[in-house]
Amino acid sequence: MSTGIGFGIAIPHASSSKVHEVVAAFGRSSSGIPFDSLDGEPVNFIVLFVVPKDQFQTHLRTLAAIAKFLNDKTVREELSKAPSPAAILQVFENRSTRA
């Protein structure tokens, strides 16, 4: 099943015995990436994360938090307009202090 959830968002995820805490990476594409998303649209934002093996609740909470964060149209607009990796990180940091 595709991890492209719509609105230009994909959240590929896995668990592994090689990590001891959640590890994540964020990517942005201005032109969009074909991803077989649920809505058939290209993906502009990808958050890949890996959770330690056998931490199912952490896996679900992480997935839900990322989906909720990126479901906010304002967040997606801010991430789209961010001119640099530092500005993208600032969007994440600013939003995390509001939660």
> What ranges do the domains of the chain cover?
4-98
Catalytic residue among 6, 7, 9, 13: 13
Q: Which CATH number is associated with domain 4-98? A: 3.40.930.10
Find the angle CA(56)-CA(59)-CA(61) to the nearest 5 degrees.
Answer: 110
Instruction: Report the pLDDT value the prediction gives residue 91, as an integer from 0 to 100.
Output: 95
Predicted local confidence at residue 96, as pLDDT: 76
Torsion sign across C-alpha atoms 85, 9, 3, 15: positive
20 HSE (CA, 13 A, CB side) = 0
Residue 94 — φ and ψ, nearest 5°? -60, -40
Assign 46 to helix, strand or coil: strand
Number of Cβ within 10 Å of residue 54's Cβ equals 9
Q: What is the pLDDT of residue 99?
A: 54
pTM of the model: 0.88
pLDDT at 25: 96
Active site annotation includes 59: no
pLDDT 10s digit of each residue in the chain, 99 long?
789 999 999 999 999 999 999 999 999 999 999 999 999 999 999 999 999 999 999 999 999 999 999 999 999 999 999 999 999 999 999 887 665
